[in-house]
């Protein structure tokens, strides 16, 4: 396994959170007050079939 820098790990985590946030907001049409805390989107399964 390669050693990864903290900057790389932060970038990948933010990328995944942004992807799931967009699915919740645009596909599932959730309002911002109903959204989970952003850090909780790092893990878990949120899929879209589009």
Look at residue 50 and tell me if it is in a domain. Answer: no
Whole-number pLDDT of residue 15: 92
What the block records as the tokens of 34 is: 């109903």
Domain housing 1: 1-33
pLDDT in tens, the chain (50 residues): 688 999 999 999 999 888 888 888 887 777 777 777 777 787 777 766 66
Q: Is the pTM of this model over 0.75?
A: no
Whole-number pLDDT of residue 46: 74
Whole-number pLDDT of residue 11: 94
Give 20's contacts (C-beta < 8 A, 6+ positions apart): 41, 44, 46
Whole-number pLDDT of residue 49: 66
d(C-alpha 48, C-alpha 28), whole Å: 9
φ and ψ at 33, to 5 degrees?
-75, -20
Please name the residue ranges forming H helices in the chain.
Answer: 6-22
Look at residue 6 and tell me if it is in a domain. Answer: yes
* Structural domain count, the chain: 1
Look at residue 44 and tell me if it is in a domain. Answer: no
d(C-alpha 1, C-alpha 50), whole Å: 33
Look at residue 24 and tell me if it is in a domain. Answer: yes
Look at residue 17 and tell me if it is in a domain. Answer: yes
């Amino acid at each position: 396994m390669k050693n990864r820098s903290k900057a790389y790990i932060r970038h990948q985590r933010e990328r995944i959170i942004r992807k799931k946030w967009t699915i919740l907001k645009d596909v599932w049409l959730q309002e911002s007050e109903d959204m989970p805390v952003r850090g909780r989107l790092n893990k878990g399964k949120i899929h879209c079939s589009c």
